[in-house]
């Protein structure tokens, strides 16, 4: 086959495909243009996940009449006129590919008014065919309406995800831009419903109250580090805020929304050993560095960048976040040491290392080792313990760290994990009521949850799952909010807002699990937690219900509900034998 030049139409479609992958690609390019125009308000309207309709409207500088048609020419830009300036570029869009790429694969209507013009003008570009300029009426700024995305490329259109999946990508992207540019007011309308409206006052704390909740906003720690080479500004979560994925970690470089796994790794390292495996923080961090140290021109969509001297930047970010966490008051409040804050599995397999010795590990102080299996798991295999009878034989000594119940049982020291015990009780109650009519408890003060866009979409798609176990739940407000008026009876004391959010998050992240696993998840998040102070009456009620359980020795996930220490082990501890 002879070599020949491609037709211009094919060239345009191939080039457009490198920039525009889905509706969120369109939204990204249009938001970039709005930011470069100095906009203080950007409104995004989406229909059918953006596959049918996208409108991005701003109050920026606008485009003068004479430049409207030129704006749809490939590699036409107002932000770059010298190859040497590529290394110093600070604007978002500089390749001149966005509008022509979008217009090649969709029907585009652009209306714009410059501050120096008396009238606005509109221009329609239908799948690359440029129409005539038409006078319009609007205030200063630009509106771009994109319809029928990939209408001339059916094969490409078939590769788009469902409307909800595309909506999720759109919301996640807009959320990142709102965090990167808190001084810009973002309004999002989806299928006629106002989904998000930020304040645009420049305060990340206020933005967190909208995107997350007030508790999260008040728990964030400020990052403000500056040297000759770098500035780090933003918010990081204290150790009380824990998420089940790193989706809430956002790092921007020179106010640019980018993808770079190396930043996530640096933040993971900063929180290493401070959060347990599988828990992640919330973080919004803007890294300001010399433009000469980064290369923005490595990907057509400008999603990825290259950074010189990544290792030093990695170390600096990790160090500064770690210092902020260690020095924070929130961390200090939760850093009290208790001999009962241990991992029972590690104790059983490795013996006991006292906390005083742990503190001096770095100083090479010897570690005292005791016999393995010092604590005995409570097991039904012991013939003497076939029937657990805590009601008659348990003598309460107290509650430790608002987490463990300490008592004497059959001449042995017994320690009950209050959360595991209540989880077992709740799980058996849920199973026993499985074939009966669901009974809920009505809340005097309904709980309002602020969810991420992804979480809200998932809840709406799986609303029957919540109704089936006793929830009365519906959309509320304008910012991914849910209002919960009724709960399953198993939910008791504690921070209901946090419990419910964690429950939804875990269900979503493990949505393909069995029905039994979902019931275990409900039992877990409805239960008494570590840190919940219990009255003596509540403790005795918990002990009584655990004693009446069918399988009292372990929680539904297999953790022991109770461990015991006998006299012989005590004598060994104190070297009596």
Return d(Cα 509, Cα 246) in angstroms, integer.
Answer: 12
Closest CA to 42 of 30, 53, 52, 51: 30
What confidence tier does 1 reach under pLDDT thresholds 50, 70, 90? low
**Predicted local distance difference test score (pLDDT) of residue 10:** 61
Return d(Cα 223, Cα 251) in angstroms, integer.
Answer: 12
What confidence tier does 350 reach under pLDDT thresholds 50, 70, 90? very low
Range in 196-205, 328-337, 416-425, 563-572 the model is least confident about = 328-337
CB 235 within 8 A of CB 222: yes
The stretch 258-287 carries a mean pLDDT of 84
**Predicted local distance difference test score (pLDDT) of residue 124:** 96
The stretch 140-162 carries a mean pLDDT of 91
**Predicted local distance difference test score (pLDDT) of residue 5:** 63
Q: What is the mean pLDDT of the chain?
A: 79
**Predicted local distance difference test score (pLDDT) of residue 205:** 93
Residues in contact with 364: Cβ distance below 8 Å, sequence separation at least 6, in sequence order = none
The stretch 384-405 carries a mean pLDDT of 75
What confidence tier does 197 reach under pLDDT thresholds 50, 70, 90? very high
Residue 557: pLDDT above 60?
Answer: yes
**Predicted local distance difference test score (pLDDT) of residue 367:** 35
136 membership: H or E segment, kind and range: strand 134-136
What confidence tier does 383 reach under pLDDT thresholds 50, 70, 90? very low
With tokens 């010795």, the residue in question is 357
Range in 21-35, 148-162, 224-238, 480-494 the model is least confident about = 480-494
Return d(Cα 458, Cα 455) in angstroms, integer.
Answer: 5
**Predicted local distance difference test score (pLDDT) of residue 313:** 83
**Predicted local distance difference test score (pLDDT) of residue 343:** 35
Most confident of 52-61, 314-323, 404-413: 52-61
The stretch 70-86 carries a mean pLDDT of 60
CB 384 within 8 A of CB 500: no
**Predicted local distance difference test score (pLDDT) of residue 514:** 86
The stretch 198-210 carries a mean pLDDT of 94
Return d(Cα 61, Cα 37) in angstroms, integer.
Answer: 5
Topology of the domain covering 8-197: Heat Shock Protein 90 (3.30.565)
CATH of domain 440-488+491-526: 3.30.1370.100
- Could you tell me the residue ranges of all domains in the chain? 8-197, 204-333, 440-488+491-526
Most confident of 337-346, 454-463, 517-526: 517-526
Range in 2-11, 103-112, 159-168 the model is least confident about = 2-11
Which string of DSSP letters, residue by residue, matches 314-333?
HHHHHHHHHHHHHH-HHHHH
What percent of the chain shows pLDDT beyond 70? 78
Query: Beta strands of 238-368 (E only): which ranges?
Result: 249-253, 256-257, 283-289, 294-295, 306-307
**Predicted local distance difference test score (pLDDT) of residue 432:** 83
pTM score, whole prediction: 0.66
What confidence tier does 360 reach under pLDDT thresholds 50, 70, 90? very low
The stretch 494-516 carries a mean pLDDT of 83
**Predicted local distance difference test score (pLDDT) of residue 175:** 92
**Predicted local distance difference test score (pLDDT) of residue 185:** 97
The stretch 555-573 carries a mean pLDDT of 85
**Predicted local distance difference test score (pLDDT) of residue 457:** 82
Strand order in the sheet with 220-226: 220-226, 230-237, 283-289, 249-253, 256-257
Per-residue tokens: 98: 């966005």
Domains 8-197 and 440-488+491-526 belong to one CATH topology: no
pLDDT tens sequence across 163-192: 888 988 898 899 999 999 999 999 999 998
**Predicted local distance difference test score (pLDDT) of residue 14:** 55
With 0-12 CB in 10 A as exposed, 13-18 as middle and 19+ as buried, what is 326? exposed
**Predicted local distance difference test score (pLDDT) of residue 342:** 31
What confidence tier does 42 reach under pLDDT thresholds 50, 70, 90? very high
**Predicted local distance difference test score (pLDDT) of residue 258:** 80
**Predicted local distance difference test score (pLDDT) of residue 228:** 83
**Predicted local distance difference test score (pLDDT) of residue 8:** 63
Per-residue tokens: 86: 């590529």
Range in 21-30, 244-253, 471-480 the model is least confident about = 471-480
Q: Give the CATH architecture of domain 204-333.
A: 2-Layer Sandwich (3.30)
Return d(Cα 36, Cα 38) in angstroms, integer.
Answer: 5
**Residues listed for the chain:** 577
What confidence tier does 126 reach under pLDDT thresholds 50, 70, 90? very high
Range in 388-397, 480-489, 540-549 the model is least confident about = 388-397
Range in 235-239, 296-300, 456-460 the model is least confident about = 296-300
Distance of CA 522 to the CA centre of its chain: 21
């Amino acid at each position: 086959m002879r070599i020949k030049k491609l037709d211009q139409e094919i060239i345009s479609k191939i080039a457009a495909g490198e920039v525009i992958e889905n509706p969120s690609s369109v939204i990204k390019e249009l938001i970039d243009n709005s930011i470069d125009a100095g906009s203080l308000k950007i409104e995004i309207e989406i229909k059918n996940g953006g596959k049918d309709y996208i409108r991005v409207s701003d109050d920026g500088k606008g485009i003068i009449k004479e430049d409207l048609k030129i704006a749809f020419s490939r590699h036409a830009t107002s932000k770059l006129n010298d190859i040497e300036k590529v290394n110093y570029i600070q604007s978002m869009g500089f390749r001149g590919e966005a509008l022509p790429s979008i217009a090649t694969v969709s029907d585009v209507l652009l209306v714009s008014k410059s501050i120096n013009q008396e009238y606005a003008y509109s221009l329609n570009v239908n799948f690359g065919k440029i129409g005539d300029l038409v006078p319009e009426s609007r205030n200063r700024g630009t509106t771009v309406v994109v319809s029928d995305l990939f209408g001339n490329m059916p094969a490409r259109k078939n590769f788009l995800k469902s409307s909800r999946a595309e909506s999720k990508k759109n919301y996640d992207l807009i959320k990142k831009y709102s965090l990167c540019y808190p001084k810009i007011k973002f309004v999002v309308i989806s299928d006629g419903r106002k989904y998000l409206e930020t304040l645009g006052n420049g305060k990340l704390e206020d933005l967190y109250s909208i995107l997350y909740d007030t508790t999260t906003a008040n728990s964030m720690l400020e990052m403000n580090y500056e040297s000759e080479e770098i500035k780090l500004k933003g918010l990081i979560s204290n150790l009380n805020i824990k998420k089940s994925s790193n989706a809430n970690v956002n790092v921007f470089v020179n106010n640019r929304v980018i993808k770079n796994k190396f930043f996530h790794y640096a933040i993971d390292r900063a929180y290493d050993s401070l959060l347990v495996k599988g828990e992640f923080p919330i973080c919004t961090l803007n890294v300001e560095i010399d433009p000469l140290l980064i290369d923005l021109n490595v990907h057509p969509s400008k999603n990825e960048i290259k950074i010189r001297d990544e290792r030093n930047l990695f170390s600096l970010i990790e160090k500064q976040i770690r210092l902020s966490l260690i020095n924070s008051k929130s961390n200090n409040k939760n850093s009290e040491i208790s001999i009962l804050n241990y991992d029972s599995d590690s104790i059983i397999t490795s013996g006991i290392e006292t906390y005083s010795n742990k503190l001096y590990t770095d100083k090479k102080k010897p570690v005292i080792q005791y016999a393995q299996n010092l604590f005995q798991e409570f097991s039904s295999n012991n013939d003497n313990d076939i029937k657990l009878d805590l009601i008659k034989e348990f003598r309460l000594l107290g509650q430790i760290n608002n987490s463990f119940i300490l008592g004497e049982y059959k001449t042995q020291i017994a320690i009950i994990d209050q959360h595991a015990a209540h989880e077992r009780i709740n799980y058996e109650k849920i199973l026993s009521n499985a074939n009966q009519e669901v009974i809920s408890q009505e809340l005097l003060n309904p709980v309002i949850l602020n969810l991420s866009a992804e979480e809200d979409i998932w809840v709406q798609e799986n609303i029957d799952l919540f109704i089936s176990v006793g929830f009365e739940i519906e959309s509320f407000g304008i910012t991914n909010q849910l209002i919960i008026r009724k709960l399953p009876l198993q939910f008791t004391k504690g921070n209901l807002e946090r419990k419910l959010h964690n429950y939804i998050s875990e269900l979503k992240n493990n949505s393909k699990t069995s029905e039994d696993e979902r019931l275990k998840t409900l039992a877990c998040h409805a239960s008494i937690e570590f840190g919940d102070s219990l009255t003596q009456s509540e403790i005795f009620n918990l002990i009584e219900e655990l004693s009446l359980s069918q399988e009292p020795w372990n929680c539904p996930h297999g953790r022991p509900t109770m461990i015991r220490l006998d006299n012989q082990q005590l004598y060994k501890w104190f070297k009596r034998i």
